[in-house]
Amino acid sequence: MTFSAKIKQEISNLELSKLEYISELSGILLTNADIKLYSVKVQTENVNAANRIFKIVKNIYNVTSNIMVKKNYNFKKNELYIIEIKKDVPKIIKDLGLLNEQGFELLKVPNEFIVSDDELKKAFIRGCFLISGSVNDPKTSRYHLEFLIENIEFANFLCSMLNEYDLNAKVHRRKKGYMVYIKESEKISALLTMIKAYDGVLYYEDIRTYREKINMSNRINNCEQANIEKSMKSALKQIEDINYLKQIDAYDLLDEKIKEVAEYRIKYPESSLIELSEIISVETNTKVTKSCINHRLRKIKELADKARQK
């Protein structure tokens, strides 16, 4: 079972208030349903979503929906569940906020009462996710959560609602319809919490924390490796300058303290400036700082550069 399927299984078993059920069902139908005044037809590959729709319609409106199962031959072996409501359709879709006030025009976004408070908005979003949402497993993929929406008006409406919760959702045009998506891991976790997929949140956060620790460890290792390579490159250049001065008989132009650092640099080519300062301080019993060593090596470089120019 995919991570998305586990999320949908979890939220399909939630017990809600009547108003929340209505908002959730409204989100389901607006997102993916063929709605007419005499019938409503919803298709889904998720059996939990199909059962959820059937139960809500039965419990709230005392209407038994027809369910048909088909093989999905669109490059998949999944079964396709078709739920059709034929009884009391005008009453149901009006109750779900899908008809205008006159009762004869279908709406592309729900009436205001469907999403009039925080819990109803979250129930509506939960319905949208149940029927058209998907989220990548944080263990195997990049962070990504999306809703597939058919029309731009509803896509923008859903995106705006998500962004009321600071989820940084965006809309992207696809060949067929639109995608409302979230990329940031913290925002995805927040949405899963909103729709009450608490088991999913715990799993998601465990994996996310583990991955971030690994990434942080890798970043630290990369920085350390970069520093080592940078230090080695500098050390080799310093040794090159020292040997060059010796070759052209200019080494004796350096004073004794600079020569001392030069000899230690040749003796300890892999040491950083801090390590070199500690070695010299211990072996000569004289405090020599990193800044002092850097200054003396810079003098060597300046003399070598002048000699090369001549």
d(CA 206, CA 199): 11
In a domain, 219, yes or no: no
For 66-101, how does the pLDDT look when each residue is reduced to its tens digit (9 = 90+)? Answer: 888 887 665 556 788 899 999 988 888 888 888 877
In a domain, 217, yes or no: no
In a domain, 121, yes or no: yes
In a domain, 207, yes or no: no
Asked whether residue 182 falls in the same domain as residue 293, the answer is: no
Asked whether residue 109 falls in the same domain as residue 258, the answer is: no
pTM across the whole model: 0.71
Edge-to-edge order in the sheet of strand 34-35? 34-35, 40-44, 79-85, 66-71
Q: What percent of the chain has pLDDT over 70?
A: 97
Give the Cβ contact number of residue 16 at 10 Å: 16
In a domain, 216, yes or no: no
In a domain, 152, yes or no: yes
**Paired residues of 172 in beta bridges:** 179
Going by DSSP bridges, is the β-strand pair 66-71/133-135 parallel, antiparallel, or unpaired? unpaired
Asked whether residue 82 falls in the same domain as residue 34, the answer is: yes
Q: Which of 2-16, 21-35, 60-74, 105-119 has the lowest mean pLDDT?
A: 60-74
Q: Which residue, of 180, 196, 212, is where some domain finishes? A: 196
Asked whether residue 187 falls in the same domain as residue 264, the answer is: no
Asked whether residue 163 falls in the same domain as residue 250, the answer is: no
Asked whether residue 147 falls in the same domain as residue 250, the answer is: no
Q: Which residues 6+ apart lie within 8 Å of 114 measured at CB?
A: 22, 23, 26, 96, 97, 120, 124
* Number of separate domains in the chain: 2
The residue range of the domain holding 245 is 232-309
In a domain, 215, yes or no: no
For 158-188, how does the pLDDT look when each residue is reduced to its tens digit (9 = 90+)? Answer: 999 999 999 999 999 988 889 999 999 899 9
Asked whether residue 246 falls in the same domain as residue 192, the answer is: no
Asked whether residue 22 falls in the same domain as residue 75, the answer is: yes
The answer to whether the beta carbons of residues 188 and 135 sit under 8 Å apart is yes
Q: If 0-12 CB within 10 Å is exposed, 13-18 middle and 19+ buried, where does residue 183 land?
A: middle
User: Around 280, how many Cα atoms within 13 Å sit in the side-chain half-sphere?
Assistant: 26
Which comes out higher in pLDDT, residue 153 or 215? Answer: 153
